[in-house]
C-alpha cells in the first residue's frame, strides 16, 4: 500500500465498533528505525530526526516531526537535509533493529502461531484461535500494543478487520500509536469513502491512470465495470483494484513466509568510473549475499545485478545458473560477467547491487559436485570462513583483494575519516535487501 497518509473516514454507527469476525490484525511499528534509535537518545524525542547514511545515501526512516517537513523513507539524504536542515541525522544500527524486531515477533507468537512477518517492523496475525482465551480481537490488539510499549519502549499501530487488505489499511490510518477496528458489516462503506491512492498497490502512475479515467475515490472504482478497468489498467491491476474496492481479499495469514531474494547494495561516496573498483564492490556484495544464504540455509539459482549511474538511470541484468548455489565464488563470477557484458567505458557509477533469487532450502536441494573440484573445495572454504566470522567477527576473513582495498581506504597518518589514498573514491552506504 502507498505510504501516503489519509485521515480515517467517519464511522457509520455510534458506540464501540463491533469486532465480531475481525480476526485479522496488522501490526506496524511507528517510525520503527527512528523510534528504536531514539531509545538511547531520549533528549531527541519530539524533535526532527533522520535515520540514514551519508550525503549519498538514502533515508531509512524519520521521526514524524521530520516527516512534517516532507522527509520520507528512501529519499536521497541530500534532499532530506535540504527539506529539514535542523534535523539530527543518526546512522542506522541494524543489530539493534534486529534485536527489537525479534522480541516483538516473540510477543506476537505468544498470542498466536499464525504470524506472517512482512518486514522487521510489521506483521499480519490471525487471532481466531486466541479469542476464547484472550478476549475479543480489539482486546488482543490493545494487549499487544501495551506489551510492545512496556517491553520495547516503542509504539505500534494496529488495524483490526476481517481481511488482510482492510487490516493493513486500518493500521496505516491509525498511525501513529493508534488502534482502528473496521467492523465486517462496515467494510465496504469504510473502503469506498477513501481516495484511490489509499488502495494497496496504487502508486503514482496507477493513480494518474485512474485520474485519466475520472476515478478519484474507491467508490468510483467500485462502480466502474470491471471490463472498463481491465481495458484501462490491464487484466491483473484492473481486476485486483475492483476486488479491493468491494473489500474482497481472499488471502489468508501465512505463518511461514519464505524470503524471495537476498541481496546487498553499495552507494558510493563519489561517482566511480573505475571498473576495478566496481569489480571489488561486486566481490564484497557477492560474498555478503552468499554468507546470508548460508546462514538462512538457502541456495539460489538466479543472480542479478543493479547499476545506477550518476544521472540516476538504473539498469538491472540477471542470469540463471544450471544449479542452485550458496558459494561466494559462483555468485561473484556471474555478477562480474553481467557487469562486464554491459560494456561500460568509464561510465560514472553511483550504486551497484547484487541479488540472489529463486531461493530454495539447501537441505532439500541436491548439490552437484564438479569433476574439477578438489575434495575440499570452495563450499568447504566458505563454511570455514563462516565459522571464523562467527568466532572473530564479520570480515575477519575475506578475499585478499578486499584486504588490499581496506588498506587503500584507511586514512594515512594524520588523515581524517573518509580520507582515500591513491585518488580512490571513498565508499558510501551498504544496504541489506530482502
* Binding-site sequence positions for Mg(2+): 28, 121
116, 122, 186, 265: which one is catalytic? 122
Give the whole-angstrom CA distance, residue 56 versus residue 81: 11
Q: Of all helices (H) and strands (E), which one includes residue 302?
A: strand 298-309
Give the whole-angstrom CA distance, residue 61 versus residue 122: 14
- Contact between 200 and 166 under an 8 Å Cβ cutoff? The reply is no
The sheet that has 349-361: what strands, in order across it?
Answer: 314-325, 298-309, 349-361, 261-272, 427-433
To which residue does cell 506489551 refer?
147
Give the whole-angstrom CA distance, residue 51 versus residue 139: 33
Give the whole-angstrom CA distance, residue 259 versus residue 359: 8
Give the whole-angstrom CA distance, residue 330 versus residue 345: 25
122 a catalytic residue: yes
Indicate the SS3 state at residue 50: strand
Residues in the chain: 434
What is the residue-wise DSSP string for 351-392? EEEEEEEEEEEGGGSPPPPPTTS-SS-HHHHHHHHHHHHHHH
Nearest partner of 430 among 263, 270, 259, judged by Cα: 263
Q: How far is CA 96 from the centre of its chain?
A: 16
CB atoms near residue 294 (< 10 Å) = 19
365 phi and psi, to 5 degrees? -110, 120
Cα separations in angstroms, 325 against 286, 337, 360: 12, 17, 10
Strands (E), 99-206: 115-119, 122-126, 156-161, 179-181
Annotated binding-site residue numbers: 28, 121
Q: b/e for 104-131, b at 16 or more Cβ within 10 A?
A: beebbeebbebbbbeebbbbbbbbeebb
Nearest partner of 264 among 364, 392, 394, judged by Cα: 394
Catalytic residues: 122
Amino acid at each position: 500500500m502507498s505510504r501516503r497518509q489519509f485521515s480515517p473516514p467517519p464511522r457509520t454507527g455510534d458506540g464501540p465498533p463491533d469486532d465480531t469476525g475481525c480476526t485479522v490484525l496488522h501490526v506496524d511499528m511507528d517510525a520503527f528505525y527512528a523510534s528504536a534509535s531514539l531509545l538511547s537518545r531520549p533528549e531527541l524525542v519530539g524533535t526532527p530526526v533522520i535515520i540514514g547514511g551519508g550525503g549519498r545515501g538514502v533515508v531509512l526512516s524519520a521521526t514524524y516531526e521530520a516527516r512534517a517537513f516532507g522527509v520520507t523513507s528512501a529519499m536521497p539524504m541530500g534532499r532530506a537535509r535540504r527539506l529539514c536542515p535542523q534535523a539530527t541525522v543518526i546512522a542506522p544500527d541494524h543489530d539493534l533493529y534486529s534485536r527489537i524486531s525479534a522480541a516483538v515477533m516473540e510477543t506476537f507468537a505468544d498470542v498466536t502461531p499464525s504470524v506472517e512477518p512482512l518486514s522487521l517492523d510489521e506483521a499480519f496475525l490471525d487471532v481466531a484461535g486466541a479469542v476464547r482465551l484472550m478476549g475479543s480481537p480489539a482486546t488482543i490488539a490493545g494487549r499487544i500494543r501495551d506489551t510492545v510499549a512496556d517491553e520495547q519502549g516503542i509504539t505500534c499501530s494496529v488495524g483490526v478487520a476481517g481481511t488482510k487488505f482492510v487490516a493493513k489499511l486500518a493500521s496505516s490510518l491509525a498511525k501513529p500509536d493508534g488502534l482502528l477496528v473496521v467492523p465486517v458489516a462496515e467494510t465496504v462503506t469504510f473502503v469506498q469513502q477513501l481516495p484511490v491512492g489509499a488502495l494497496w498497490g496504487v502508486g503514482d502512475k496507477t493513480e494518474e491512470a485512474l485520474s485519466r479515467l475520472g476515478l478519484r475515490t474507491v467508490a468510483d472504482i467500485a462502480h466502474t465495470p470491471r471490463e472498463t478497468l481491465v481495458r484501462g489498467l490491464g487484466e491483473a491491476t484492473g481486476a485486483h483494484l475492483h476486488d479491493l474496492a468491494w473489500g474482497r481479499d481472499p488471502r489468508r495469514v501465512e505463518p511461514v513466509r519464505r524470503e524471495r531474494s537476498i541481496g546487498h547494495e553499495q552507494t558510493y561516496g563519489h561517482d566511480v568510473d573505475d571498473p576495478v573498483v566496481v569489480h571489488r564492490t561486486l566481490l564484497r556484495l557477492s560474498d555478503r549475499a552468499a554468507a546470508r544464504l548460508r546462514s538462512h540455509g538457502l541456495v539460489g539459482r538466479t543472480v542479478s545485478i543493479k547499476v545506477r549511474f550518476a544521472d540516476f538511470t538504473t539498469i538491472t541484468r540477471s542470469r540463471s545458473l544450471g544449479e542452485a548455489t550458496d558459494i561466494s565464488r559462483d555468485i561473484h563470477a556471474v555478477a562480474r560477467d553481467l557487469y562486464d557484458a554491459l560494456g561500460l567505458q568509464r561510465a560514472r557509477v553511483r550504486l551497484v547491487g547484487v541479488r540472489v533469487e529463486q531461493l530454495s532450502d539447501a537441505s532439500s536441494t541436491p548439490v552437484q559436485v564438479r569433476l574439477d573440484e578438489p575434495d575440499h573445495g570452495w563450499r568447504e572454504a566458505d563454511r570455514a570462513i563462516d565459522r571464523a566470522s562467527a568466532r572473530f567477527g564479520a570480515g575477519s576473513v575475506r578475499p585478499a583483494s578486499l584486504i588490499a582495498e581496506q588498506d587503500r581506504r584507511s586514512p594515512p597518518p594524520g588523515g581524517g575519516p573518509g580520507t582515500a589514498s591513491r585518488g580512490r573514491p571513498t565508499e558510501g552506504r551498504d544496504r541489506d535487501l530482502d
